[in-house]
């Protein structure tokens, strides 16, 4: 087993933050879509606003919990800056057929970018 500063709770807290942020995205997208298509009445806005604010606050709290846990591990400073260079922490070799990584930052392949552009045009 490789010695690392992360634990199983790191993944759990990250998953909780991701789920909360996705839920907020759904709430926000619903409100935006209703507004763009002219269906957002003042009454509906008053009903949706607390839901959107609540989902944002929940996502923020989940993210703060995750960041606080990483601070306990010494991976982030209280100012939420990485303690160690991201290159040395996250660099992974290129996996066959997988995304390429440069300096720890995933880079989309040209084919992936092309297929995403096609998908956006078909929507």
Q: pLDDT tens digits, residue range 39-84?
A: 999 999 999 999 999 999 999 999 999 999 999 998 889 887 888 6
Tens of pLDDT, residues 15-43: 999 999 999 999 999 999 999 999 999 99
pTM of the model: 0.63
Give the contacts of 61 (CB within 8 A, at least 6 positions apart). Answer: 20
Q: Please check whether residue 17 is in contact with residue 62, taking contact to mean a CB–CB distance below 8 angstroms.
A: yes
SS3 87: helix
């Amino acid at each position: 087993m490789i010695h690392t500063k992360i634990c199983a709770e790191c993944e759990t807290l990250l998953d909780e933050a991701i789920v909360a942020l996705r839920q907020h995205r759904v709430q926000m997208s619903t409100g935006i879509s209703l507004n763009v298509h002219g269906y957002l009445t003042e009454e509906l806005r008053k009903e949706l606003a607390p839901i959107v604010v609540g989902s944002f606050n929940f996502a923020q709290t989940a993210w703060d919990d995750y960041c606080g846990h990483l601070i306990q591990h010494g991976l982030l400073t209280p100012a939420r800056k990485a303690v160690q260079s991201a290159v040395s922490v996250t660099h992974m070799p290129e996996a066959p057929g997988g995304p390429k990584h440069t300096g720890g930052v995933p880079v989309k392949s040209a084919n992936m970018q092309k297929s995403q552009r096609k998908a956006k045009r078909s929507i």
